[in-house]
Structure 1
């Protein structure tokens, strides 16, 4: 090749390169002189910038920038960066000839000659508006999804790495589990599991199942930051990328504690209802059997009386043995009737603590020296309307059962306390009791205890765990029937090896309490001119726990009220010495308005109204002769 051929080839190569650049339509490729003026323009530049070559040559390239970017000096900064760093690359909004904007990817390179003299800049621009829009749409979608997830407060929604580390955290997770995002991100999710589940490997099993099956779903106890437990419904989904590689897990947790408690309460209520229905059915059957058995015993008893008159003296012992057997059978039917709630009761308003204190000697005698027997009575325990004799028998039954459960000795505790039941809280058996005040009597032992299946049958007649001949199985059933007939309930709490507590709940006679909220014992003034009647009334009020003062006339009663505070005035209507009970009551209401007033008389109320006027109806009234229950009932009306 000669010397003339070489320049011709170089020139041809340059033209080919120039044609190549000019023909590219997907990129704007053009030259700038050192001042930034456009010195060349290709087809791509014409296509998406809109300028023809003759329109743009010699113009400054800054006209492609938005007004705000020009004001910020970005064109000059781009050339300076290209010079100092050898290259400038960026993305941003650019302007077309028609004023519309497009998102551009820009590269500017400085161009030097063989003597390192700056000839200008090569600028390559690509229109990536569609990519920008797609990215913005994706980003906006992700942002909306993020806001959606963050806005959910009823569910804990968060991501786990393939190893189980928490990588993000929503508001619901913060609310349910108690951790802030900064506190929990980077921690292993197993910290939410209870210790026994962690020891059993449940967290690893959950991830393993989700990884292999694609999903894991379960319910169980979880732990909050404060250490409290909640019942959770959990779903774990495995997340894979386009190639199928596991990149983590999506975990959703919902707090179902209230639903769990409601289900447990419903289950307990169903069990209690079934037990109550079963006991009611057994009670009806038992009552019928006892009634028929009593009739048979009546025939036998009457027949024995006839035989005793007809037989010779040698047969007397046989007849007496038969009579004793009849008596035992009669006692057995009384126990059955007690369970069936068909026994006759002599209920009176009584101070429960006083009944127990008066019966304490018998109760302690039922124990033995190896038992530490403690009686702890709440001095503010309410009274109750109860058959005291049968109540004492029920207590004795419970103490004997407790003693038998501690053959080697132990601790026995008898307590009283007030209990306000709302029909919702407490053991399921109490749900059927009307919401009100109750007095609770509990007998607790440290004995052998009972498993749940035995507790469930403990009140059934003839059911016993004692050896043959050691018990009839009617003790607890008799207690149960008596307390149910008295409007109360019996609850057994027991665990094998941890002892048993039997609690009796009786409707409290709150209105007959003898103490106010500060523990003050109330004082009653009894006005009666008959000494014997005064003594009887004083004994009745004393038995209910009141402090009693007396007066024989209305004037004497006024002197008493001037000297001391009186909470209740209980006065006879007809009295000598010039002032009757109605006049005394009116005087008391005027001068001592806080004193409650009760009138008593042997005359019927209509006759008294005819004699003394209708004003008598303003006061609580009780007829003579009166009983303790009459006084308690009238006291309640006087307190309204």
Structure 2
């Protein structure tokens, strides 16, 4: 049995040897005169007879075969354990039976003899009592018997010291109808004879089974060797001689006696498997030999292909570098004529991460204009990054890096200076086109407003009634305010409108809008609000926010002429650098409030989507849209420190997403929102120096301030105002325009005034687009900056605020 396992192992080793032969053929050169020159040999005409004449020696098989030894040991162990179990069961049964018989015998004695003993005791016949006790011992298995009467004791036999069974019974005698207890009878029996009988049974059983197991194992070893093991030895010997890898040898066949052979048994299947494996081995060797003969041609073809790829890469306008996983440069296109030291150095080093590439750009004195992980390409197998650089030679470059799963790196660099210039010119062309449309629209709107103002002014000059004149003045005022609104709208899409920032509850604003929105939207449009409960507030111009929401709702309505669903959602968003880069937003990381307006309308075609925020671009026609609404929303978003994005699918709908910075602190209202009336008594005697190069505006402001009780001095430029201050004029407040002709502007005049009188109040007027802050003009923190045109109440409020600050500073 042991040799059988060993021979099977040798057969398996032969198959492994065949596998090694295949591997050696694949890795080494095989000539056309190789071992398979006769692979077409027919095996049907050969018969390999395996010799099986080796004589059987059981002792040799046991001592030379570990498997046989294990078989012998386990068989003996099994036989021994089985014998022990059976013997123990038989011994237990025998012991139980003999013990029960002994107990029954003792019980019978206790039942039978007390009657005879009672008469002898009643008659005081002691000899009769002793005779009967000896009779009990001689005729039964009892070892000792005794009678105890309370005063006397009679005994016979020897009491065993251990392993005994004792029974006892009362000796009763009946006389004259009365029963008397005369004593007790005790009988004891030893268990030793039973123990010896059981032990003898166990010894005979074990010895018999040992002989039986030994004969069985020896016979089974002989049968197995004769039927199986000798044939396996023959197979092993032929395999050792190299028959399995020699294609000239015939197949394996076992020669067995017919009366001991069952066709298709395990040995036949083993030989069939070996022959099949041998045939497949020969076929595989033939295939490998044929493949090797084509290897040179394939290698040459690959070399030609690599050369073609290399030539193609060298002919491109891009520069390519390839590094292996250890960072060694394995391929690089020629860099003749590349006069960019930074790009050359960047291509010479493997940069596996975006941060590494960005750091290298800074090291090589190049400005990194943008650097992002390429969205949608970073996977478990590879990652990509893209950088746009501005080099020291004033050229634009784009760097694209790919890092494979095995750590190999590919880096490309392309000069995109000409592309950038084309984009700039195209952007300028779009800007000029928009400017032309914008100029025409501004001209039309302002001509209408001027016509209203002039018409009312002319009619007012002919009116006699004060009430009629007041009505014309009110109409002129309203038209002027509409002109201010028009300017604010135009500045909004240019991201330059002066916003009046206040803290706004966006959810509340949307809910208030919905109240009247349901009255204006068609009945075939369903509305749904999904508002986050704990939404942060935002700091925005409330009017512009309402206007932005209205523009987005109107766009959604126009996109659903056949009806649909309008959905407005809000949520908080903590924006990270990675998320901002992935969404390609021009905002800073931080907390934002996100509002989305979605419709299920017709959608926006992909070729139009990039232009929807351009001023005066519209697909609705002149009768339905001016093309300025989304431009205003875009300008409002950027000026508020946020961003707006759009996603659309034709036939499914469009979603506009507006992201605005979440409020971080209370926001004070700007000065120009103060509209309370200031008493004349509080202003009388206060001197104001007004500096304005527009004569008519200067006269208007002088009359306004004089009517309110101020003492007003005027100057038409900065030089004249400086001269007046140098001559000793000491106003309480200096009010000056920023942009004036001459060598002294409003900023310089304000600094000059504060140098002469640090506690003097300063109000600065600007006709430019401002954001109600001091940073842009580098003003003193106590200076008040307001935007033209200024209503009288706002002008007076600014002067009052300037005087308060000057008093505090003093």
Q: TM class by shorter-chain length?
A: 0.3 to 0.5
- Give the structure, 1 or 2, with the largest relative contact order (CA under 8 Å, sep 6 or more): 2
TM-score where L is the length of structure 2: 0.29
